[in-house]
Chains A and B, each alone.
Chain A
Amino acid sequence: MNNQNFPGSSGRYERQISLIGPEGQKKLSDATILIAGAGGLGSPAATYLALAGVGELVIVDDDIIQESNLNRQFLHASQSIGLQKVYSAQATLEKLQPDVSVVAYPKRLDAQSADQLIKDADLVIDALDNYESRFILHEAAWKAGIPFIHGAIEGFSGQLTSIIPKSSPCLSCLIPSAPPAGKVSVMGATAGVIGSMQAMEAIKYITNSGSMISGRLLIWDGLSGRIEFMKTEKRKNCQVCSK
Chain B
Amino acid sequence: MKITLRCYARFRDAFGEEQEKEIPEGSSIRDAVIALAGSGPDADLLIDAEKNIRSYVMVMYKDTRISPIDADTITLSDNDVIILFPPVSGG
Contact = CB atoms under 8 A, between A and B. Distances in A.
Interface of A: 37, 39-42, 126-131, 151-155, 157-159, 174-181, 184, 186, 191, 217, 219, 221, 223-224, 228-233, 235
Nearest to A39: B91
B55 A152 contact: no
A157 B85 CA distance: 10
Contacts of B87: 152, 159, 174-175, 179
A151 B91 CA distance: 7
B63 A129 contact: no
B75 to A, nearest CB: 20
A154 B89 contact: yes
Interface residues of B, number: 22
B89 A129 contact: yes
A177 B56 contact: yes
Top 4 nearest A-B pairs (CB, nearest first) are A154-B88, A129-B91, A184-B90, A157-B9
B44 to A, nearest CB: 10
Contacts, number: 93
A179 B90 contact: no
A157 B65 contact: no
A129 B79 CA distance: 37
9 contacts: A152-B90, A154-B89, A157-B88, A181-B89, A184-B89, A217-B58, A221-B8, A233-B64, A233-B65
Nearest to B67: A235
A63 to B, nearest CB: 10
B89 A130 contact: yes
B55 A154 contact: no
Contacts of B55: 176-177
A230 B89 contact: no
A120 to B, nearest CB: 23
Nearest to A134: B89
Nearest to A236: B67
B17 interface: yes
A218 to B, nearest CB: 11
B54 to A, nearest CB: 9
